Chains A and B, each alone.
Chain A
Amino acid sequence: MSRRDEPVFHRDEFELFGAVARFDDPGALLKAAEGVRKAGYERFDAHSPFPIHGIDEAMGMRRSRLPWVVLIAGATGCVSGYLLQWYTSAIDYRLIIAGKPYNSIEAWAPVCFELTILLSAFAAVFGMLAWNGLPRLYHPLVRHESFTRVTNDSFFLSVEAADPRFDRVGTVELLMSLGGREVALVEG
């Protein structure tokens, strides 16, 4: 494919990932994210070496739906823990233990509790990874010349070509007008 030092602007036969711009400080990134959102874009992302307060609001991020998944997983854990113990102890293989009833809810509580926690935690961790598209070994943005600085001292904003408002000239101009440096198109 293309080499790094080739001028990306003059080629249009490859598939585009999108446009990317570098910013010098978190404040500039916040402003740019707000500008891009106000211009009507939806498929864009901010990249920073550390979490920035207010970036969610600036980008217009919706609340994650993950809590609902966690709730359902937790309830599943609780119910399945109960059913497992009820079936094995009260139906399938009845044993009198310490003179207690076959179906002793008190005795089932710890297992139900632990399974609720376990499945909730799994849902939270793995759901978070899945919705973030992780683990991911490659990302088109690493083609940008200085993108590695995102783990050090620079802040980036990328707009995906898949956004309906994306335009090779218009989006790049927008990013430049918002104070972006090293604005470039990145191939997918």
Chain B
Amino acid sequence: MSDLGSGNRAAETTGPKATRIATVIAVLAAAASLAGGAFDPDRFAFSYLVAYTFATSIALGALFWVMAHHASSAVWSVVVRRLLENTARTLRWAVLSFAPIIFLIPRLYAWARPSSTVDRVLELKRGWLNTPRFLIAALVCLGSWAILAELLARLSIEQDRTKNPDLTRRMRAISPPGLVLLGITTTIAAFDWLMSLDYHWYSTIFGVYFWIQSILAALAALTLLILALQAAGYLRDSVTKEHLHDLGKLTFGFVIFWAYVAFSQYFLIWYANLPEETAWYLNRRVPGWNGWNYLLIFGHFVIPFFVLTPRTTKRSPATMAGVAVWLLAFHYLDLYWMVMPNLTPVAPAISWLDVSTAVALGAGLVALVCRGCERSPLTPQGDPALAESIAFKNT
């Protein structure tokens, strides 16, 4: 690994070691999950869906940040962009790890199961809710994400070598249409993978909700990655407290945005009080699940809001690492709350398969990101704005 203004030499071995450890954990957890899945395939299906959307959303959020960076010609974030590119680049593996879901469609989605009774709502939605269309949409979504991530990462790495500023222009040209495409495909993915679990229900803001979750989760993952790399001796001279402060401000903003979107969805459904819409929330207000709602309100919004309000916490590596871990945990719990009431409607029943699938895909993501970090410099060495980005200061 090379780094502008290199960190300490002893760190040279930590990178491959982290990759190896994460790979071993991922493989072991995946094997355990598959073995468990043989005994309880329904549980495996739902646990895997939560874990899959969790890991994929982090990479998806990272792709958003890379393109937002280029679309706004940002300077401060140049120094952290390579880490985002490495995270987004794992999306090609999200195509591969979608495979189990293909086989689990009838277990996950009631609309894909043969039924003896005629459901009028389902008949009306048949044009959208059918397996071939579901698979094509997944391929288009995942394919376009993987291609965009690969393209932007390759251009950036090419710039390391050639120092050609025209490549910046090309990345800036790709990003705005890329963001539009990302918005549409993310909405479709969220509708298909998560919302169609309860196919009677619909919420037009659901795609935004999933996107905001992803963007926030990617910010938390980026913060954690930076702090972990710094603890291992990298990036110490390039990523400063000023960058951490900016990440903290963005995290604070997106915590509020998450609450705004989550509340908007609830508020409109509560106000209109239409049975086909309220059912989804009523299913989550049964005694067994009701506590989860408050868990999310306080854990995903109120507590991080007050923790991130002061300037000092946003500039403290220890607090920011804590907040990042906390938010990633609540991102998982949020997805769990969306998916699991379909499997265990009475009350949450946490299974070791939830843990093993999450560890398998989480550690897999860590291993892939670490491997990406080993293969290229940790900062975009050829970016014309790199020096300016390192010198960045909040006023």
Contacts and interface: CB of A to CB of B under 8 A. Distances in A.
A106 B395 contact: no
A169 B376 CA distance: 62
A98 B311 contact: no
Contacts of A106: 266-267, 270-271
Contact of B309 (A51, A53, A71): A71
B159 to A, nearest CB: 28
Interface string B236-249: 00000000000000
Given A98-B271, A98-B273, A107-B271, 11 more contacts: A51-B395, A53-B393, A53-B395, A67-B311, A71-B309, A99-B273, A106-B266, A106-B270, A106-B271, A109-B263, A109-B267
A94 to B, nearest CB: 19
The SS class assigned to the A binding surface is helix
Interface of B: 263, 266-267, 270-271, 273, 309-311, 393, 395
A71 B306 CA distance: 11
A109 B266 CA distance: 12
Interface string A95-129: 00011000000110110000000000000000000
Interface in A37-88: 51, 53, 63, 67, 71
A109 B260 CA distance: 10
A51 B395 CA distance: 9
Contacts of B395: 51, 53
A77 to B, nearest CB: 15
Nearest to A104: B270
A67 B311 CA distance: 9
Interface string A123-164: 000000000000000000000000000000000000000000
Contacts of A67: 310-311
Contacts of B311: 63, 67
Interface residues of A, number: 11
Contacts of A110: 267
A71 B309 CA distance: 9
A63 B315 CA distance: 14
A107 B266 CA distance: 11
16 contacts: A51-B395, A53-B393, A53-B395, A67-B310, A67-B311, A71-B309, A98-B271, A98-B273, A99-B273, A106-B266, A106-B270, A106-B271, A107-B271, A109-B263, A109-B267, A110-B267
Contacts of B270: 106
A67 B309 CA distance: 10
Contacts of B267: 106, 109-110
A67 B312 CA distance: 12
Contacts of B271: 98, 106-107
List the 6 closest A-B pairs by CB distance, nearest first.
Answer: A106-B270, A53-B393, A106-B267, A51-B395, A109-B263, A98-B273
Contacts of B393: 53
Contacts of A71: 309
Contacts of A63: 311
A53 B392 CA distance: 10
A99 B271 CA distance: 10
Nearest to B393: A53
Nearest to A56: B395
Contacts of A51: 395
A109 to B, nearest CB: 6
A110 B311 CA distance: 27
Nearest to A53: B393
A99 B270 CA distance: 11
A67 B267 CA distance: 30
Contacts of B310: 67
Nearest to A63: B311
Nearest to B273: A98
Contacts of A107: 271
A60 to B, nearest CB: 17
B270 to A, nearest CB: 5
A53 B395 CA distance: 7
Nearest to B272: A98
Nearest to B395: A51
A106 B285 CA distance: 15
A110 B395 CA distance: 32
B268 to A, nearest CB: 10
Nearest to B312: A63
A122 B311 CA distance: 20
Interface in A12-40: none
A99 B309 CA distance: 38
Contacts of A98: 271, 273
B147 to A, nearest CB: 39
Nearest to B266: A106
A145 B273 CA distance: 72
